[in-house]
Structure 1
């Protein structure tokens, strides 16, 4: 199976995790749904800043920033960005100043959304928050802000949306190795790994990591929560091939080989769906586990639909990546 682990040693890395996150079996949910084995990879169980998948990317992004001599990190996101919150936490751990450029790109104006959840934690973690309208170009603002700070003598590193540069994607190439090791130790064969697809870095990194170990690109199934299937496919192909290049591997697949579904996107990014609400309640009431409403909630709704409609055969095993984002749930009180 494994052609060789991805070579990650060449890239600076700042430790933010306490070791491998656990894989757990959802036995009560399986009893309700039938004969498909359902497992979760608990990337929500990370200690720093409330936890979540962005910490894997930030290990390499902060590592790169420190290697470049940066003393300030700037990143961008939506008002309730999990990546922004964890960038603030990672910067605090690394002794860096942090600025967050957040756009009101989700059409919600209630105070629970605009001032609670991740935004509350951003300020507690010491980040300077720039609050922009949804129409503004956050990355352009961040670039100009970096220029201003550089002129004042600061050394600035700008991290992309979701931390999803090829360097950031290395975090999930490493996670692919971690999953293969855990599957071997557990004696479990996973037929598919399921993830949310936002900025695309988690999906792309996993694809790169698994392909480097001999898997097909389609082994990772992602449910789009930010853009439609066509756009998500383009993003993931560009990032997975660029990440494979960093790992010294050539991509032998096309964009059409990527396993992406946008049927649970709903009306758009950050906008609740009935299927998402049902998925959150189902997992909470069968397993006591909490999903976030923007990413994992919609992706888990996709997984439930796939199990119920027979996408997986009896006896197959699927691994769902719980990406975290729990603080955002408290910003969506009105949606429930």
Structure 2
């Protein structure tokens, strides 16, 4: 992290560090050595069902509280893990939460949305659109809240900003203590902040991001988020990013991802989600097949959570139920 930078306030939302667990049966199935593959269990972060966004929200909510915010406003897809955890963070900190989500009322009511309601968040449906459309809608919501006397804090899409990415600089420090000999951390690349923090804390050559289709220019996005956090320039060409797991788009289930979900479940009892962690493992599988990751290297797969989203993804549920057999 750049020396002399002002350190923003940080909210306490979880207990650290998260576990680093071996995955020998999964490693063997991928063609790696039994001690080569480990799982960083950020799905076990306690707040709100767990997940990587809690690390970002500690910094983002800390800044919001310091600024006197009374309500958090953020954006996401209808099954957004970030939205769910923002709702949980608001509940923990005594702040109201408004979620500006893509889609329309009644399009879904399960998975993360059920938890959004349980945590007491209010939802504003913004219709179909990209992150820019959602950001505009969120600003309109914030303006209305100000007129009503509230003090809103806009939390960025995915919690990804240089402030939020500090959470994964901290994760990088944890990993260096838990596995100082690690070669590569493999992570899903959604809104970019998770990979950016890891890159800032570890260096670009030790982080492999697997693009999930959430942003149009993943390398540029990660570079812009990581650069303010490090003394070393981080240009887009220096980043290791796989672009081959997006398939037909962000919300779609692909065969490599379904295979990854099944493999993790049946070798380690490990549940992944079809949008992020499933793509991360599919990308790791492809990296082993291409020789980008080889036996004898200490590799860490970041489990960034997302289990509730599995229950809001009907195609994946249907495929999973096909695996049921009569006793």
Work out which of the residue numbers 128, 139, 142 in structure 2 matches 1:143: 139
1:213 corresponds to which residue?
none
Deviates more, 1:132-141 or 1:53-62: 132-141
Number of matched residues? Answer: 313
TM-score computed with the length of structure 2 as normaliser: 0.91
Equivalent runs, 1:22-37 vs 2, <5 Å: 22-36=19-33, 37=36
Distance 1:327 1:67, change over 3 A: same
1:218 corresponds to which residue?
205
RMSD: 2.0
Shift of 1:131: 1.6
Cα distance per residue 1:256-295 (max 9 Å; x no partner): 0011111011111111101100000000000000001101
Aligned residues of 2:185 and 2:206 also touching (Cα < 8 A): yes
2:41 corresponds to which residue?
42
2:223 corresponds to which residue?
237
C-alpha separation in 1, matches of 2:30 and 2:161: 37
* Structure 2 spans left out of the alignment, 5+ residues: 320-327
C-alpha separation in 2, matches of 1:163 and 1:150: 22
1:247 corresponds to which residue?
none
Shift of 1:242: 2.3
Distance 1:143 1:24, change over 3 A: same
Distance 1:7 1:217, change over 3 A: farther
1:126 corresponds to which residue?
120
Shift of 1:311: 2.4
C-alpha separation in 2, matches of 1:173 and 1:8: 14
Distance 1:44 1:202, change over 3 A: same
Aligned residues of 2:227 and 2:233 also touching (Cα < 8 A): no
C-alpha separation in 1, matches of 2:172 and 2:255: 31
C-alpha separation in 2, matches of 1:235 and 1:150: 30
C-alpha separation in 2, matches of 1:333 and 1:69: 40
Secondary structure of 2:18's counterpart equals coil
Shift of 1:314: 2.5
Distance 1:15 1:8, change over 3 A: farther
C-alpha separation in 2, matches of 1:66 and 1:227: 28
C-alpha separation in 2, matches of 1:227 and 1:128: 23
C-alpha separation in 1, matches of 2:138 and 2:295: 49
* Structure 1 spans left out of the alignment, 5+ residues: 211-215, 245-249
Aligned residues of 1:21 and 1:41 also touching (Cα < 8 A): yes
